[in-house]
């Protein structure tokens, strides 16, 4: 029987979301893997890879990617009976720490490792592979409020710094165009743990609200929420989602993959060109299309412009040691994540993500081609 990590995050996910509907890949989808660049080493293809024996790949990291990884890893295991994949969605900071300490085969983080974090890695050089394109929803539980409530940076900042405390505040009515929101206390919910979604919203507020910069005292976004004493802090996307669902008046930032499956009501957020855009697979994809020169040091797609561009979008990055302990482990990781960034992307839309743009998929494959044993 396949073994899985059962974590509080997974249990919380089950409480908030319906169980995912597993779907086997068709034979045509299985053949959809294409060749790598002629300048890169040949990449082992799905139909060519045969594990020499039972092999287990253990990973940990971003909670935001858990719905995507859960389904894609399951599908991969159905095609490779000798491969078992365990993933603990304990948060990006855990993924970075575990890969630094070389206690997992792969980590995952929404914010790529910094040069100093890479220098602390005990296993040598770390490859950072873009594997998914997602977004951060501002989900709210306000009886009578419409879906897609218009919110801009200064208003969101005032909600999360405690300056606006009621949903019928004139500032919200002005920006949203909805004058009859209830006289209900706002309960802002943030991540209590280090998180990529927190970095994304912090970066957006730094770019769009001078008062936020003054309030938090820095113009550098942080994975640790800068105002932890205002509102409610919850662990992981699952904790924020559970609280928002259960609390009238709550608003929190949560991965769109979770918000979509939970059926949350999400804000339409003002982007770099002044358009108010709700998160969808399409609008997140429009943000990803802006990443024409993506790299692990130039990764932000926050507050991009365009009539249908969602301003709180992000890529998720899988962390792998360049030099693996064995040829078998190198081949197994190579093949798994080649599958993730190609055929696995067919699952993105149904799970609240967007398929990787072609240039980003090429970057992922080129990065994987550097794996060594």
Residues 53-104 have pLDDT tens digits of 899 999 999 999 999 999 999 999 999 999 999 999 999 999 999 999 999 9
Give 309's contacts (C-beta < 8 A, 6+ positions apart): 271, 272, 273, 275, 277, 283, 286, 287, 290
User: Is-contact 17 259, C-beta < 8 A?
Assistant: no
Where exactly are the structural domains of the chain?
Answer: 32-134+314-368, 136-313
The C-alpha atoms of residue 148 and residue 21 are separated, in whole angstroms, by 27
Q: Find the helix or strand (DSSP H, E) in which 78 lies.
A: helix 66-79
Put residue 61 in one of left, alpha, beta given phi > 0 → left and psi -120 to 50 → alpha: left
What pLDDT does residue 53 have? 81
Can you tell me the mean pLDDT for 289-315? Answer: 97
Rounded to the nearest angstrom, the gap between the alpha carbon of residue 144 and the centroid of all alpha carbons in its chain is 29
- Closest to 135 measured CA to CA, from 320, 9, 311: 311
Looking at the predicted structure, is the pLDDT value of residue 339 above 70?
Answer: yes
Pick the CATH number of 32-134+314-368 from 3.40.50.2300, 3.90.950.20, 3.40.50.300, 3.40.190.10: 3.40.190.10
Which is higher by pLDDT, 18 or 110? Answer: 110
Token pair 């080129």 is found at 366
The C-alpha atoms of residue 64 and residue 228 are separated, in whole angstroms, by 20
User: Is-contact 64 94, C-beta < 8 A?
Assistant: no
Residues 202-257 have pLDDT tens digits of 999 999 999 999 999 999 999 999 999 999 999 999 999 999 999 999 999 999 99
User: Is-contact 270 302, C-beta < 8 A?
Assistant: no
Find the range with the poorest average confidence among 11-20, 25-34, 242-251, 258-267.
25-34
What pLDDT does residue 15 have? 38
What pLDDT does residue 373 have? 87
Token pair 């509102």 is found at 231
Domains 32-134+314-368 and 136-313 share a fold: yes
The C-alpha atoms of residue 65 and residue 256 are separated, in whole angstroms, by 10
Q: Which two tokens stand for residue 235?
A: 């662990």
User: Is-contact 181 155, C-beta < 8 A?
Assistant: no
Determine phi and psi for 198, rounding to 5 degrees: -65, -40
- From first CA to last CA, the distance across the chain in angstroms is 29
Cα-Cα-Cα-Cα dihedral sign, residues 258, 117, 221, 282: negative
Which 3 state secondary structure label does DSSP give 270?
Answer: strand
For residue 40, what pLDDT band results from cuts at 50, 70 and 90? very low
Looking at the predicted structure, is the pLDDT value of residue 110 above 90?
Answer: yes
What pLDDT does residue 368 have? 97
Q: Which architecture does CATH list for 136-313?
A: 3-Layer(aba) Sandwich (3.40)
The C-alpha atoms of residue 36 and residue 282 are separated, in whole angstroms, by 27
Can you tell me the mean pLDDT for 136-152? Answer: 97
- Closest to 132 measured CA to CA, from 24, 15, 281, 238: 281
Q: Which two tokens stand for residue 340?
A: 């993730």
Looking at the predicted structure, is the pLDDT value of residue 22 above 80?
Answer: no
């Amino acid at each position: 029987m396949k073994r899985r990590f059962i974590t509080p995050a997974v249990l919380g996910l089950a409480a908030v979301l319906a169980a995912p509907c597993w779907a086997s890949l068709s034979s045509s989808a299985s053949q959809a893997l294409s060749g790598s660049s002629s300048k890169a080493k040949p990449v082992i293809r799905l139909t060519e890879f045969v594990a020499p024996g039972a092999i287990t790949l253990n990973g940990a990291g971003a909670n935001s990617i858990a719905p995507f990884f859960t389904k894609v890893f399951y599908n991969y295991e159905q095609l490779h009976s000798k491969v078992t994949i365990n993933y603990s969605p304990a948060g990006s900071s855990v993924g970075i720490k575990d890969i630094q300490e070389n206690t997992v085969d792969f980590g995952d983080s929404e914010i790529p490792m910094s040069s100093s974090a890479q220098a602390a890695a005990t296993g040598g050089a770390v490859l950072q592979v873009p594997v998914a394109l997602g977004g951060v929803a501002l989900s709210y539980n306000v009886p009578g409020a419409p879906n897609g409530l218009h919110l801009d940076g200064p208003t969101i900042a005032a909600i999360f710094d405690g300056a606006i405390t009621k949903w019928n505040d004139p500032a919200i009515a002005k920006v949203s165009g909805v004058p009859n929101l209830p006289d209900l206390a706002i309960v802002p919910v943030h991540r209590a743990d280090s998180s990529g979604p927190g970095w994304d919203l912090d970066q957006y507020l730094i770019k769009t609200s001078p008062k936020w910069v003054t309030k938090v005292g820095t113009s550098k976004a942080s994975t640790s929420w800068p105002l932890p004493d205002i509102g409610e802090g919850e662990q992981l996307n699952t904790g924020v989602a559970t609280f928002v669902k259960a609390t009238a008046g709550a608003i929190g930032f949560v991965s769109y993959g979770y918000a979509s499956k939970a059926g949350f009501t999400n804000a339409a957020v003002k982007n770099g060109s002044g358009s108010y855009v709700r998160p969808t697979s399409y609008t997140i994809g429009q943000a990803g299309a802006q990443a024409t020169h993506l790299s692990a040091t130039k990764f932000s797609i926050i507050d991009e412009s365009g009539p249908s561009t969602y301003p709180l979008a992000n890529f998720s990055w899988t962390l792998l040691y360049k030099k693996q302990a064995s040829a078998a482990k190198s081949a197994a990781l190579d093949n798994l994540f080649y599958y993730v960034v190609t055929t696995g992307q067919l699952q993105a839309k149904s799970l609240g993500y967007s398929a990787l743009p072609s240039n980003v998929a090429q970057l992922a494959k080129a990065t994987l081609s550097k794996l060594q044993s």
